């Protein structure tokens, strides 16, 4: 298997990128995107909690970046551990959330025992990984360390937005060919990682215009 990390992930290890990262969420549009994503994540959290009938004590947010959602589960009584491979992003996260725990970790080799964490949270990463095999590897590792399941952020190819980008790419008007999985491929990858989705949550109110999906998933053998 190709074990090389995607170049887009390596970008976040740049100090300037990490320092300016939060600016994309600072404007009116960015704040609306933040609210929509947080609402979908909390809905997935509630679905997982209702399914298991327990109160989660710990969550692993990976990659946590600058701590965009580090405080999200505090009101739910769930302690969040933020992890990221970028030391530069972690420095920003620690400055913003000094009360939280953060560590440097690779999602392909997490430094936790089996079932050490109640739930995992993987937001805004998998769409940067163009290898299906590598996405499955990351998800399997998350499955290994998380006892009750996870909240997974996926982006899919069957939307007007992505089809438009593909067309523009073919016409030479867009710099990169979108390489997102189909909804069917996403289901297969979750299955290969040992997960079973409990729901599919559209982040945007107009699903055909947005490629963003949130899946609350549980271990297949649960």
Alpha helices in the chain (DSSP H): 7-10, 15-20, 28-52, 87-96, 132-145, 160-170, 183-192
Rounded to two decimals, what is the model's pTM?
0.87
Q: What is the pLDDT of residue 2?
A: 46
Q: What is the pLDDT of residue 178?
A: 60
Report d(CA 81, CA 61) in Å as an integer.
6
Q: What is the pLDDT of residue 10?
A: 72
Q: What is the pLDDT of residue 94?
A: 94
Ranges of residues in the chain with a pLDDT under 70 are: 1-9, 158-175, 177-178, 206-209
Q: What is the pLDDT of residue 3?
A: 52
Provide the CATH number for the domain formed by 7-219 in this structure. Answer: 3.40.50.150
Tokens of 219: 């271990």
- For residue 95, the tally of other CB atoms under 10 A from its CB is 10
Tell me if residue 126 falls in helix, strand or coil.
helix
Q: What is the pLDDT of residue 112?
A: 97
Domain boundaries, the chain: 7-219
Q: What is the pLDDT of residue 1?
A: 41
Q: What is the pLDDT of residue 183?
A: 87
Q: What is the pLDDT of residue 20?
A: 81
Residue 153 Cα distances to 37, 38, 211, angstroms: 9, 11, 10
């Amino acid at each position: 298997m190709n074990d090389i990390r995607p170049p887009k992930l390596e970008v976040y290890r740049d100090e300037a990128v990490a320092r300016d990262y939060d600016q994309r969420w600072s404007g009116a549009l960015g704040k609306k995107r933040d609210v929509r994503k947080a609402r979908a994540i909390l809905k997935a959290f509630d679905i997982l909690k209702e399914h298991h009938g327990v109160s989660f004590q710990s969550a692993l947010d990976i990659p946590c970046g600058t701590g965009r959602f580090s405080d999200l589960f505090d009101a739910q009584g769930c302690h969040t551990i933020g992890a990221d491979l970028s030391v530069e992003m972690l420095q920003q996260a620690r400055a913003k959330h000094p009360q939280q725990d953060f560590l440097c970790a690779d999602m392909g080799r997490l430094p936790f025992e089996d079932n050490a964490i109640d739930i995992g949270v993987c937001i805004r990463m998998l769409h940067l990984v163009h290898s299906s095999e590598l996405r499955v590897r990351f998800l399997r590792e998350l499955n290994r360390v998380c006892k009750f399941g996870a909240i997974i952020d996926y982006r899919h190819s069957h939307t007007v937005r992505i089809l438009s980008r593909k067309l523009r790419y073919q016409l030479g008007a867009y710099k990169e060919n979108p390489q997102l999985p189909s909804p069917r491929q996403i289901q297969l990858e979750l299955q290969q990682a040992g997960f079973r989705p409990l729901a599919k949550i559209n982040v945007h109110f107009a699903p055909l215009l947005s490629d963003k999906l949130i899946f609350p998933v549980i271990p297949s053998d649960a």
